Structures are given as C-alpha cells and as structure tokens.
Amino acid sequence: MNPTTPPTKPEFKAVLLVDDDHQLVDALRSALMDDNFLVDVAYDGEEAFLKTKVHQYDAIVCDLMMPKLPGDAFYRQTTELHPELASRFLFITGYADDATIRHFLSAVPARYLLKPFTIQELIDAVRNLVSC
C-alpha cells in the first residue's frame, strides 16, 4: 500500500432479519455480524415494515410464516414502498410443501432457502444478494 493512500474502509451492508423465532434470529444475527453485515432485527412483518419505512437496507432475510403480517404480505407492502428491494429478499421457510407458499415463491424475483439450512448457505445467499 502506498503510504500516501489512505486505507480503504470496509463497506458494510445493512440487512434486516425478520423471523418470529428468537433463537434462530440470535444465531443468524451473530453469524451475519461476524461476516461484517450490519444487522437489524424484527420479530414480525408489521415491525419489519415499520423499519423499512425509516431505514434503508441492502437485503432482507425474511421468514414466510409469522404472526401479525406474514412474509408474503410484508414483501408486497415493502416492494410497493421500495421497488428496488424486490430482488433483494431472501425468504427462509420450512413450509415449502405448502401450495400457497410454493406459488408465491415462484411468482416473485426473490430467492429462498429451505429450513434447515447451514449458516454458510445463508451467508453465501446474503452476500450474493448484496453484490447484485
């Protein structure tokens, strides 16, 4: 490195993690933070939607089956407000057998992971989202 060139600062990407399972959220938040993501958390779709109104996120990791506002409704509301996030969602679900969920996932440009998934799969998927 040239002594006159200032060191480059690492670029942190902001991720909103949305899931009603507090233990899963804690584990995923830690893993993403260890990989230098800035992680904000919401435990249901309503709380998450309120956060998207006031904060900018580079990616959203979201469960589909949640109280108050399920992931598909949260996605629709959020992408109305922020169309640029439509392809920056990563859904996580254990209900891939459900026809309604399969239909939704095939109809949107978002990606998804089926539970159970590895931490590395999640990190790789989020890295891919923010590099697009």
| Number of H-type helices and E-type strands within the chain | 5, 5
pLDDT at 120: 96
Write down the mean pLDDT value for the chain. Answer: 92
> Rounded mean pLDDT of 79-83?
96
> Rounded mean pLDDT of 120-126?
97
Summarised one tens digit per residue, pLDDT across range 26-73 is 999 999 999 999 999 999 999 999 999 999 999 999 999 998 999 999
Summarised one tens digit per residue, pLDDT across range 9-31 is 567 899 999 999 999 999 999 99
CA atoms of 17 and 86, how far apart (whole Å):
15
Structure tokens at 103: 């239909």
Q: What are phi and psi of 36, to 5 degrees?
A: 70, 30
Question: 20 forms bridges with which residues in the sheet?
Answer: none
* Domain chopping of the chain, boundaries: 22-131
Q: What is the pTM of this model?
A: 0.90
Three-state SS at 19 = coil
pLDDT at 3: 58
pLDDT at 105: 94
Q: Is the C-alpha dihedral spanning 41, 46, 49, 55 positive or negative?
A: negative
User: What's CA 127's distance to the chain center, in Å?
Assistant: 11
User: What is the percent of the chain with per-residue pLDDT over 90, rounded to a whole number?
Assistant: 85
Summarised one tens digit per residue, pLDDT across range 92-107 is 999 878 899 999 999 9
Architecture of domain 22-131: 3-Layer(aba) Sandwich (3.40)
Strand 59-63 versus strand 37-42 pairing type: unpaired
